Amino acid sequence: MDQKLSIAIQKSGRLYEDSVKLLKDCGIDVKNGINKLKTEADNFPLEIYFLRDDDIPQYVEDGVADIGIVGENVLLEKDKQVLPVEPLGFGKCRLSVAVGRKEEYASPAALQGKRIATSYPVLVKKFLAEKAVSAEIHEISGSVEIAPGIGLADAIVDLVSSGSTLFMNGLKEVDVVLRSQAVLIRNTRLTADKLTLLDRLLFRIRSVKKAKNNKYVLLNAPNDKLQQIISLLPGMKSPTVLPLAEPGWSSVHSVISEDQFWDIIEQLKAAGAQGILVVPIEKMII
Ligand code: ATP
Ligand code: ZN
């Protein structure tokens, strides 16, 4: 098989570093892409294109790149013929409605007849239609948050993560149009060879994602509490139990998922576990 898979990632911006890191965590070396359009991985048949995020859905639809990493916000706004393959857990943000800090907004009906500035006209139009509200949409490509201050709009719909940009511009977030994260997308007509490569890459991506959501836990337990402690641990199969040099004690190793983590740690302590070590997992293959 000598075909290569090509992936489009953002050239610079909020998705760039996490996209490159994901590939690195998958064991794929990406040489520095700054000021380059294209590079190749040494150790996986992958070409990497660096593009503006807005252009990625089109390039993937056209098959210039086989796959791409883009925010769901861009994917849904551009509405191209591409397939979403896997949410990636980074680039999390909200596409939100914001109005002046002193404005009232009880529901989307407050937008009736208003002027809304946004870079996401398609998603805003859909949102307004769903809420049966009619408003004027003003499409602007950057610095949407200054539009109300200069009298260009009454409200905006823009991406928000912490809300500090809104705050600095005298605005407040009042409604969420879409919750978004980065997603892997693919062209609809990949060859069988390319699909095989994509499967190999996806296997790695899923292992990295799983590892991030789990921690490896090691602890010491007095043997008379062992059964109770083991019953608290989920583990991939059952936990590993090894005798300690000190008689009457064992070392217990297991895997705990991030969302159960603090609960279980508290219960383990209460059950008599000591010397609890929590270690990040690099890859998790199941
Ligand atoms: P480009 O030059 O590639 O067009 P851009 O200015 O459109 O860059 P960025 O601001 O780098 O894009 O954002 C890229 C993506 O990162 C967004 O489309 C979104 O999916 C995600 N993102 C995550 N958090 C935020 C945020 N707080 N503000 C904007 N985008 C965010
Ligand atoms: Zn962009």
Set out the domains of the chain in order of their start, with CATH numbers. 5-91+181-211 (3.40.190.10), 93-180 (3.40.190.10), 214-280 (3.30.70.120)
How many angstroms does the Cα of residue 55 sit away from the middle of ligand 2?
8
Please work out whether the CB of residue 57 comes within 6 Å of at least one atom of ligand 1. Answer: no
- Atom number of ligand 1 nearest to Cα 72: 20
Distance separating alpha carbons of residues 280 and 258, to the nearest angstrom = 11
Nearest to 101 by CA among 149, 150, 172: 172
Atom nearest to 14 CA in ligand 1: 11
Cβ of residue 55 lying under 6 Å from some atom of ligand 1: no
**For ligand 1, mutation pick of 70, 159, 162 (most atoms within 8 Å of CB):** 159
Q: d(Cα 118, Cα 120) in Å, to the nearest integer? A: 5
Cα(14) to centroid of ligand 2, in Å?
10
Instruction: From 107, 201, 218, 227, select the one nearest 155 (Cα to Cα).
Output: 107
Residues with Cβ within 8 Å of residue 264, at least 6 apart in sequence: 232, 233, 234, 256
pLDDT score, position 32: 67
* Residue 226 in contact with ligand 1 by CB distance below 6 A: no
pLDDT given at position 235? 63
CA-proximal residue: ligand 1, atom 2 (nearest): 52
The CB-based long-range contact list for 161-169 (8 Å cut-off, 24+ gap) reads: 161/92, 161/93, 161/94, 166/98, 169/145
Q: Which residue, chain included where needed, has tokens 């407050």?
A: 110
CA of 14 to the centre of ligand 1 (A): 5
Structure confidence at residue 4 (pLDDT): 95
In sign, the C-alpha dihedral spanning 81, 86, 87, 88 is negative
Distance 10 CA to ligand 1 centre (A): 9
Intervals of the chain under pLDDT 50:
none
- Cβ within 8 Å of residue 69, ≥6 positions away: 7, 8, 9, 10, 15, 19, 22, 56, 88, 182, 183, 184, 185
Q: What's residue 234's pLDDT?
A: 78
